Chains A and B, each alone.
Chain A
Amino acid sequence: DAGVTQSPTHLIKTRGQQVTLRCSPISGHKSVSWYQQVLGQGPQFIFQYYEKEERGRGNFPDRFSARQFPNYSSELNVNALLLGDSALYLCASSLGQGVAYNEQFFGPGTRLTVL
């Protein structure tokens, strides 16, 4: 298993545009979480999806949305991009929902640059 995969690796957008990031979890994992990591900071939680339903949401504006598909892959959408959205976006998958007993496996991330 290649582990959690994310695409694309890098992308560059301009302010006001929209972007879609994709994540494929480890086979058998039903939970996907998204984190934003700004340079010099730790990852910050955006969303958790489990069994195709949103189970948790961090303190991000409504411009951020996500969904999980029947095969448990996930997409993160960001509308009306701002310069401050430039960051590394990490996806993590786990077997179950709770983070305490279900190890989070992280992907390599997608580096988004907004110009």
Chain B
Amino acid sequence: AQRVTQPEKLLSVFKGAPVELKCNYSYSGSPELFWYVQYSRQRLQLLLRHISRESIKGFTADLNKGETSFHLKKPFAQEEDSAMYYCALKNQAGTALIFGKGTTLSVSS
């Protein structure tokens, strides 16, 4: 079965603290994973995808096939990082994204 699990509904951190948003997946074959972000009153938008191996806004995510995880990390959180974050997995057919339930990140000073 193809599934994405985000175990935390809410993650609250202070500005400047490290952030790790957890994502675990279930998939047969080579997975392709993404992180999407939705800022307040904005549309859902792509943050990063593992095939690009890029760092966006200081966020990185490494695919760990052994642990079936794709955690999102940032060394120093900023208040503007406060948003809803969704981990997503490409389905077997390659035609759709399978989303987790999302984690709300709240960064306060």
CA distance A3 to B102 in the complex (A): 24
A97 within 8 Å of B by Cβ? yes
A3 contacts B43, CB within 8 Å?
yes
| Interface 9-mer from B13-21, B60-68, B73-81, B87-95 | B87-95
Q: How many A-B residue pairs have CB under 8 A?
A: 58
* A98-B101 CB under 8 A given contacts A3-B43, A103-B46: no
CA distance A45 to B98 in the complex (A): 7
CA distance A56 to B96 in the complex (A): 7
Q: Chain A, 43-62, contact with B by CB distance < 8 Å: what is the 0/1 string?
A: 11100100000011010000
Q: How far is the CB of A97 from chain B (nearest CB, A)?
A: 7
**What is the size category of the interface that chain B forms with chain A?**
20 to 34
B99 within 8 Å of A by Cβ? yes
Q: Is the interface of A mostly helix, strand, loop or mixed?
A: loop
Contacting residue for B97 out of A4, A40, A45, A101, CB 8 A: A45
Please, which residues of chain A bring their CB within 8 A of the CB of B32? 100
Please, which residues of chain B bring their CB within 8 A of the CB of A56? 91, 93, 95-96
- A-B pairs, top 3 by smallest CB distance, nearest first, are A56-B95, A42-B99, A45-B96
A residues lining the B interface (CB < 8 Å):
3-4, 33, 35, 40-45, 48, 55-56, 58, 90, 97-101, 103-108
